[in-house]
Every structure is written in C-alpha cells, then in structure tokens.
C-alpha cells in the first residue's frame, strides 16, 4: 500500500488517482466546515466549483436548501451561510441540502471525483480518516487543497496529523517524500502548531478577518466522530452508504 500527498489539488490530474482512496484536505476551512455540517445532520452537501454553478444548482435543487460558501473567505451577498464551521450548527443545518462553493476546497473535492473512494478529512476527524484508509487497504492520495494553486502549510500539517494517527504503521506502507515531509513536520511541531503557522499566507489572512475561533476549531484534533464521503456529486455521511 502506497500513500502520497499532493501540495495542491492542481497536481491531482498528474497523479493516478483512479482506483485509489483520496482524502481531500482543506484545513482552513472547507474540510472542517463540511465535516461539521454533516456531523450536525445536514442531509447532503453539493460542492460546486464557482458562484455561477452555485446559483444554477441552487435554483435546480428541490427541498430544504441553503446556499453557502465564500469568496476571499467572506460570505457572499445573498448567501445563507459563509465558510465558518461554527456557523454550521445543528439548528441551522439539520435536514438541509447545502449548495457549497469555496475558493479552493470545493475545487479540490471535485478534482478527486474519479478516485475509488473520496473522503473529506482534516484535524477534526483525523483518527477516523486514518482508520478508514487502513481498512480500505488501497493506495491512497492525500489531496491537500492548497491556496490559489499553491502549497498551504495548514493542509500539509493536517496531512501529517492523519498520517501520524496510523501510529507505527509506516512500515507497512510506502510514503512519498512529500508525505514524509508532512509527517515529520507535524511530529516536530505537534505541540505548537501555531508557531509553525506564523506568517503563512491563508492563516494570517483569516486571522486578519477576525476568524481566530475558526482557526482554533479547525486545528482541534478528533472532535468530530464523522467521515464524510464524496460520491456521485454529493458529500454525505459514510454511514448512510453502508449496505448490510
């Protein structure tokens, strides 16, 4: 079993993702937001690549729906919710269909559409993701979303955190160089991840907008006991797909 990590979702087309497990990681904040929404009972999420598609999808979708997401990390005019995971409370999202558009995260989800299984993962559900990768036993690509087509520190640290949760299993899988970098960086800074984040682009931008609470939440490990999967264009709770 081989595991590789990408610096941004753009690289996915060069990776051979077919027949692999993919994990989409947008640590600040799209992965945490989707995981929180599913955890709080949202029926499904429809990730879309841009605002035009978001509006068309919203109009065509029947049922109890919310139009959600961001541009430059800010809630868009006319949208029901922005991209703060803390907005996605049970009261707000339970039973709802979420049409969701973000700058990098939803594009990263769509880039992984032809994987055998596409999971949404980050710090908040790291152990669940790690266990699932091992259970599936397939070659795996951790798709770091990145920011504006470039490497983003927080995604690499989240990839390292997921790899770390496979404790002691490194011996049984092959890890590429970027994966080793992610794992070793996470292990070196695990007790002070914010030190590692100082001066990084998206983190500083999010902080400048006053989203400190989001940052704390997004870097909290294993606070959500949920595994969202992307299948046939929608993100749902993995449990809802199990057929006994």
Residues contributing to the site for ligand MLT (CB under 6 A): 26, 28-30, 70, 73, 83, 102-105, 206
- Run of H or E residues at 44: strand 44-48
Q: At closest approach, how far in Å is the CB of 217 from ligand MLT? A: 12
Q: Pick the closer one to ligand MLT by CB: 148 or 187.
A: 148
Q: At closest approach, how far in Å is the CB of 174 from ligand MLT? A: 30
Joined together, the tokens standing for residue 239 give: 């449990």
Which of 148, 43, 25 has the alpha carbon at shortest distance from 88?
43
Distance CA 63, CA 66 (A): 10
Q: At what angle do helices 153-164 and 126-136 cross, to 10 degrees?
A: 60
Q: Pick the closer one to ligand MLT by CB: 3 or 9.
A: 9
Q: At closest approach, how far in Å is the CB of 204 from ligand MLT? A: 12
Q: Pick the closer one to ligand MLT by CB: 70 or 164.
A: 70
Q: Pick the closer one to ligand MLT by CB: 93 or 206.
A: 206
- Residue 175 neighbours by CB distance under 10 Å: 17
Find how far residue 218's CA is from the centre of its chain: 10
Q: At closest approach, how far in Å is the CB of 42 from ligand MLT? A: 17
Q: Pick the closer one to ligand MLT by CB: 103 or 125.
A: 103
Q: At closest approach, how far in Å is the CB of 22 from ligand MLT? A: 16
Q: Pick the closer one to ligand MLT by CB: 29 or 165.
A: 29
Q: Pick the closer one to ligand MLT by CB: 71 or 116.
A: 71
Residues 52 and 60: beta-carbon distance below 8 Å: no
Q: At closest approach, how far in Å is the CB of 121 from ligand MLT? A: 14
Angle, CA of 194, 219 and 231, to the nearest 5°: 140
3-state secondary structure of 125: helix
Q: At closest approach, how far in Å is the CB of 102 from ligand MLT? A: 3
Which positions ≥6 away from 86 have C-beta within 8 Å? Answer: 36, 213, 214, 217
Distance CA 120, CA 142 (A): 10
């Amino acid at each position: 079993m081989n595991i590789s990590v990408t610096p941004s979702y753009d690289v996915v087309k060069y990776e051979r993702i077919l027949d692999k497990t993919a994990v989409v990681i947008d640590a600040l904040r799209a992965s945490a937001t989707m995981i929180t929404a599913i955890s709080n009972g949202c029926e499904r999420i429809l990730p879309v690549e841009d605002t035009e598609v978001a509006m068309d999808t919203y109009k065509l979708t029947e049922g109890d729906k919310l139009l959600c997401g961001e541009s430059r990390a800010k809630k868009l005019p006319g949208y029901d919710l922005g991209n703060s995971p803390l907005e996605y409370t049970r009261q707000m999202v339970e039973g709802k269909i979420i049409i969701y558009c973000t700058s990098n995260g939803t594009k990263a989800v769509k880039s992984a559409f032809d994987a055998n299984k596409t999971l949404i993962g980050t710090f908040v559900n790291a152990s669940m993701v790690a266990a699932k990768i091992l259970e599936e036993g397939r070659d795996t690509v951790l798709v770091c979303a990145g920011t504006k087509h470039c490497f983003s520190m927080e995604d690499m640290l989240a990839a390292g955190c997921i790899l770390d949760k496979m404790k002691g299993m490194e011996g049984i899988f092959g890890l590429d160089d970027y994966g080793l970098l992610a794992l070793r960086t996470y292990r070196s800074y695990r007790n002070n991840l914010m030190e590692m984040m100082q001066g990084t682009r998206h983190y500083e931008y999010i902080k400048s907008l006053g989203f400190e609470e989001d940052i704390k939440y997004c870097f909290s490990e294993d606070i959500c006991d949920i595994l969202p999967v992307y299948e046939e264009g929608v993100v749902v709770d993995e449990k809802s797909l199990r057929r006994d």
